[in-house]
Structures are given as structure tokens and as C-alpha cells.
Structure 1
Amino acid sequence: MMKISFIGGGNMASALISGLQKTGFLMADILVIEPNPEKRNQLQASFGVSVSQQLELAAASEVIVLAVKPQQLQELALVLKNMLQNQLVISIAAGIRSSDIARWLGGYNTVVRVMPNTPAQIQAGVSALFATAGVSALQREQATMLLAAVGKTLWLEDENKMDAVTAISGSGPAYVFYFIEAMQQAAMDLGLSAEQARLLSLHTFQGASQLALNSAEEPATLRAQVTSKGGTTERALLSMETAGIKSAIINAARSAAARSHELGELLGKD
């Protein structure tokens, strides 16, 4: 069994550790490097992992997960670069390209960049991964195993597509929450209580998503199956089309992808 070190003990690191625990991964093989003593104690109490504030201890692991904020990554990498030999370095810092991470690590070319999303906190996420040239087939398997503990995984062979991933699955949960907010508001405007609005909206999204996942049909076909000619659903969808809802969603995703590219340029500067 491989040993894993997490540098940073925030929400995503906790989600990954929780997911690994559920798969039966040995918690004694996980080390979390975290400067905050309260977080260290919480992680140790919750999962039984080893904790420390000494960065050099991470070098003993086969896999090192960089789970710090994007603004902290360059400083961390410049310290970490002298400790690396053959370890797999996995970055879950949003927006920072693998080439910049490799450069900050002194040309170290065994890096996997990951774009997870917040449903990973309940092991229902989807993560896109990109590997630099130095990552072996075994190390790809190790990265897949780690991220599969919190949901589905998708490997990209072109890192430029990470901006699109960020716009769809990275930011996507916020779009869904936004739509749910609107559904709940509509329900209350129509006379339902807040509790009723929440129940109906959330379970409609959950059920429709599960139906789409379980079906071989495209979403457009499933939508058509619900839409009777001259009925309530047709009227609602016509109203959405008139308001330009679909175009707004597409334009929003394009804006998010553009911003992801901008942030990659900005965060990758020395």
C-alpha cells in the first residue's frame, strides 16, 4: 500500500481522506502537513491519520498532494523542490498549470494537475486529471485511485481543456445551486412554504439527474418525454426559451472558461 502526504488540511484534503477511509485505505499510511494546530487535531481525531507541521516529512511518501490555496503554491513548491526524488506530486490547486508547478519545482516533471469539484465532499464529485510527461502508468493508476475515492475521474490529454472543465464541472455546482434557488423562490411565490419549496426543488433535481444517469437517452429526449403538447411543461419551456435561458447558460460557461484561462496566466507568473 502506498503512503500519501497531504500538504494542507482544508476541505478538499478532508474530503479525499474521508473517501479513502471509506474504500478501506489504511489511515496510518496518510500524513497531513498542516500549520494550524486545531486542524491537525481535528484531522487526527476524525480519521486517525498522522499529522505534523514539518514539511520535510512529506518526502517519505510515494504520493504528495498539494492541497493549499493557489496563492500559496509557488512558495510551497520552491521549498519542496529540494525534497523530491521519484514521488508523484498531485496538485488540486485551482487554475495553476502543471508546467508552472513543474517549473517552480525546479523542472520536476512528475506532476498531475487535478480539477475536482465540491460534491467530492460527499464522494459524489467528478475530477479531471492531466499528467506531465514524467508520470508513469503506475502513477496514473495511483492518481486515479485517489480521486476515484471521491467520485468519477476523467483524464485529459490536452491541458488546455482544463479551462472548459473548470467552467463545467468546477463552477457547475454553483450554476445548479443558482437554478435551485430560483426554483425554490418560484415555489414560494406560488404559495408553497419554504420547507415544501426546498423539498420539491432539491428532490426534483436529484431525481432528474439520477434518471438521466441511469438512462441511455440524451437529456433532450428525456425532456421531450415530459413535455406534452399544449401542456404546462411546454408553456414553461417556451417561457425559458423566450428569456434566453439556454443562451445565458452557454455564455456563462464561456465566461467562466475565459476567466479560468486568465487566472492561469496570472497565477503562473513568477
Structure 2
Amino acid sequence: MKKIGFIGCGNMSQAMIGGVVRAEIFPGKNILVSDLNKKSLEAAADKYGVAATTDNLEVARESDILILAVKPNLYGVVISQIKDSVKSDVIVVTIAAGKSIESTETAFGKNIKVVRVMPNTPALVGEGMSSMVPNKLIEVHELEEVLRIFESFGRTEVVEEKLMDVVTSVSGSAPAYVYMFIEAMADGAVLDGMPRDKAYKMAAQTVLGAAKMVMETGMHPGQLKDMVCSPGGTTIEAVTALEEKGLRNAVITAMKRCTEKSKKMSK
């Protein structure tokens, strides 16, 4: 059976490992993980039964699918260390913002199969949104293998690489916008006398439920909004206030700036 390797054992790496194990895509014994943080390795080994090591080369040599789950600034160092040790047909998966397929290919200095992926932090609770781009060497069945891995802890879309900076703004960075919205909703409830713990719970569950309505009904968000807005009612009053304060424009502007920042970081 094939082996999957993770170089890096941080939160995102462990979220992926958890998804893979729960979905029974790979058994723990076929999952290799390396990191300098021994506590993280021990935690992953205890929880998922993976093979843990501090030796990146060991993981590189044995993996059929190799996920580089380190910080973007460490990619050059790690790839330089492992490039002569990976299997000739290994599938390298990158998950770092700003790391183009071309930059990864150049770093390895040879023809190599690469899938560039942008996951987001809700992967930690099994609700991630990942976007991926394969290079020209990836075959259809190989892309399907990588898709299965990332769909074990959320949803996945295959996109063109030119859209990856937009992906950063609409899903990669976007959880932060949602957290701010939840916090603001809770603050409003607290202002009107609700205990903060209850306010956070109600606001968060409402956002979760509203998102699920969009995903499961397939209806346009505007239609769903209209369904809540009774003529002369409380909801349309609140929606009017949001429009007066420029909620839509603020979100669109924030996303535009996020996309532009991502483009600058990719150069």
C-alpha cells in the first residue's frame, strides 16, 4: 500500500492526518510525519498511530505522496534538503501561500509531480475549504487521490493557478472576516443585555446554520436573505442599517486588498 508523508506536524498537518485516518484513506502505519518538535510528533503518534521522526529525509525517501506542511519561508531549505531523496514518481503537495507551482518545480530542479493546494483553518474541525492546482505531470487518477485526502476534512475545488490569489481572499484569509462578524454580532447582543457566552454561541451557530442553508439548498444568498426579510419587519430594518454603513463595500474592499497583497507576496 502507498505511503503518505508530512514534513511538518503543526495544526494544519494534524488536521489533515486526522481526516485521512477517519476516512480510512491511509492507515496510521502508512502515514509518516517529521518535525523538530518532538511533543507534536508524540501527540500525533499517540492519537493517530503514525510513524513519527525528526528526520525529513526518512519521510522523503518513503513517501508516495509528500505534503510539505511547513511555513513558506522554510520551503527553500526543506526542498534543498530532500530533493535528491524523493522517489522519482512522488506527488509533492504544497500548502503554503505564495508558493507557485513553477517556484516548487524550480526548487526541486527536475521534472516532478506537484499539486498546489490552499486549505484554510476550519480544516481543524473537519470543515475546511481547499482549492488545488495540479501541474502538467499529474495524471487524472493521481489528482483524484489528492482530492480524496483533502475532502476527508472538508470540501475541495480544482481551480486555475491564476485564481489562487483570489482563493486566498475568499477562503484562505476569510475565516478572519467571519470571526470579526461573529464578534460584532455578539457585542451587539451584549450591548442589549445578553451574557457574552450565550451571545457568542447564538451568533456562531447562526452563521453556521446560514452557511449550511446556502450549501445545501443551492439557493442564491439574496433569495435566502429575502426569505427572512418580512415587509416592515425587524430584519429589513437591520439589513437597511448594514447597507447604510456599507457592509458589502467593506467586505469587497477587504477582499480586493487581500488579493493584491497575495499577488505581491507571490512575486
Q: TM-score range with shorter-chain normalisation?
A: over 0.9
* Contact 1:81/1:108 (8 A) holds in 2: no
1:148 aligns with 2:151: yes
> Paired residue for 1:101?
104
> Paired residue for 2:67?
65
> Paired residue for 1:56?
57
* Contact 1:6/1:66 (8 A) holds in 2: yes
For 1:189 and 1:108, locate their aligned partners in 2 and report how far apart those are by CA, in whole Å. 59
Question: Which string of whole-angstrom CA distances, capped at 9 and with x for unpartnered residues, describes residues 217-237 of structure 1?
Answer: 211001011111211111111
TM-score by length of 1: 0.95
Residue type at the aligned position of 2:203: S
> Paired residue for 1:268?
none
Q: How many angstroms does 1:164 deviate by?
A: 0.5
For 2:15 and 2:249, locate their aligned partners in 1 and report how far apart those are by CA, in whole Å. 34
Identical counterparts, % of pairs: 32
Residue type at the aligned position of 1:111: V
SS in structure 2 at match of 1:149:
helix
Give the aligned length: 264
Residue type at the aligned position of 2:161: E
> Paired residue for 2:230?
228
Residue type at the aligned position of 2:21: Q
> Paired residue for 2:78?
76
SS in structure 2 at match of 1:164:
helix
Q: How many angstroms does 1:108 deviate by?
A: 3.2
Q: How many angstroms does 1:195 deviate by?
A: 2.0
Q: How many angstroms does 1:38 deviate by?
A: 1.6
1:116 aligns with 2:119: yes
For 1:216 and 1:155, locate their aligned partners in 2 and report how far apart those are by CA, in whole Å. 19
1:13 aligns with 2:13: yes
1:29 aligns with 2:5: no
Q: How many angstroms does 1:3 deviate by?
A: 0.5
* Contact 1:109/1:133 (8 A) holds in 2: no
SS in structure 1 at match of 2:155:
strand
1:160–1:208 CA distance, 2 compared to 1 (3 A): same
* Contact 2:64/2:89 (8 A) holds in 1: yes
Give the unaligned 5+ runs of structure 2: none
TM-score by length of 2: 0.96
Q: How many angstroms does 1:14 deviate by?
A: 0.2
Could you list the runs of 4 or more consecutive aligned residues of structure 1 that deviate by over 2 angstroms after TM superposition?
none
Q: 1:177 aligns with which of 176, 179, 199?
A: 179
For 1:151 and 1:170, locate their aligned partners in 2 and report how far apart those are by CA, in whole Å. 13
RMSD: 1.1
> Paired residue for 1:4?
4
* Contact 2:57/2:81 (8 A) holds in 1: no
Residue type at the aligned position of 1:116: P
* Contact 1:15/1:122 (8 A) holds in 2: yes
For 2:140 and 2:214, locate their aligned partners in 1 and report how far apart those are by CA, in whole Å. 33
SS in structure 1 at match of 2:179:
helix
SS in structure 1 at match of 2:84:
helix
Q: How many angstroms does 1:72 deviate by?
A: 0.2
SS in structure 2 at match of 1:178:
helix
Question: Which string of whole-angstrom CA distances, capped at 9 and with x for unpartnered residues, describes residues 82-135 of structure 1?
Answer: 113110000111221111011001133311110000110111111000011111
Moved more, 173-182 or 188-197: 188-197
Question: Which string of whole-angstrom CA distances, capped at 9 and with x for unpartnered residues, describes residues 51-90 of structure 1?
Answer: 1122221222111110000000011111221113110000
